[in-house]
Structure 1
């Protein structure tokens, strides 16, 4: 069974954190909600979130690890040396890592974006360019960099596209669920 971990930190953008959990569970993907350093996380909009576990080397056993954004949440993820070590190992192992909104800042600090394509919340790419001048920014809604095993997305409104893209990259069929959730209809309207 496909397994995905979503890593939550205080100040995370709730819609970016919970949309991948919701969509992927609907698709039959096993999703674990992982707290950065505790089981009780407070989202950026004061929504309390209950985790199943905290970060550990067990993150190496997942098909993908997902970072939601939110400026404070992303900063908290970025500053974790333990998480940085795990994520570097995952990339070296050719495992998928995903981040959206401000969370690519954590990937930038970890060195995961070096020489790879990414997208992020508008303006964040300028910060990333200072620390990772070889990272290649794209304004696309979601970006898949196969060489770096990276999936990135722009921000709150792109959370569903991000979730479906992660599932697709992991080989999970999404067409029926996109129809069931009216996502296909929404794409036609945009």
Structure 2
């Protein structure tokens, strides 16, 4: 079974976090939510989230993917945490998938993971960053090698479905999507 870490920082975008967690679990993927500390997380719209564990405990697990929800100031808190940068770099070195949505792709950029990659983000987040040979694209979801990025709350479901496709295949993605009755 695949295991995914979703770090939850104070001020994260709850729609993105919950959509990612919910859809991945529907696909039979183990999702570990981890707070940067031991406190409950107050998301950007005031929803209280209780992480499964702390980041320090979560990184002891064998992880197949890390997914960063966006939102502000949540993405800033992730970006300012050296443990997140270290984990992203380790997973990249192992060739494992790394994903970020909304404002969180800036964490990938600041960790040096978007050089020579195509990526997307919430409007205004990546376009003006000076990342060597990064190609910004205004698309809902973008996969470039092991990096998956997305635009924001409105693209969270498509983003989560792409994560499922990447981890467990198109058949499971199709089953999960069908059960959502999107059309």
1:174 aligns with 2:173: yes
Specify whether residues 133 and 71 from structure 1 end up closer, same or farther in structure 2 by C-alpha distance, changes over 3 A only.
farther
* Cα shift readout 1:26-51 (whole Å, capped 9, x = no counterpart): 11111111112234111001111001
Q: 1:116 deviation in Å?
A: 0.9
Specify whether residues 93 and 60 from structure 1 end up closer, same or farther in structure 2 by C-alpha distance, changes over 3 A only.
farther
TM-score normalized by the length of structure 2 = 0.93
1:9-20 equivalences in 2 (<5 Å)? 9-20=9-20
1:82 aligns with 2:79: no
SS, match of residue 31 in structure 1: strand
| Equivalent residues, number | 180
Query: Where do 5+ consecutive residues of structure 2 fail to align?
Result: none
Query: Where do 5+ consecutive residues of structure 1 fail to align?
Result: 186-190
Q: Show the counterpart of 1:188.
A: none
* Cα shift readout 1:56-99 (whole Å, capped 9, x = no counterpart): 37267211110000020000000111211111011011011100
Q: 1:125 deviation in Å?
A: 2.0
| 8 A Cα contact 2:127 2:136, kept in partner | no
| 8 A Cα contact 1:39 1:53, kept in partner | no
RMSD: 1.4
1:140-151 equivalences in 2 (<5 Å)? 140-146=139-145, 149-151=146-148
| 8 A Cα contact 1:6 1:67, kept in partner | yes
- Pick the structure with more helix per residue: 1
TM-score normalized by the length of structure 1 = 0.90
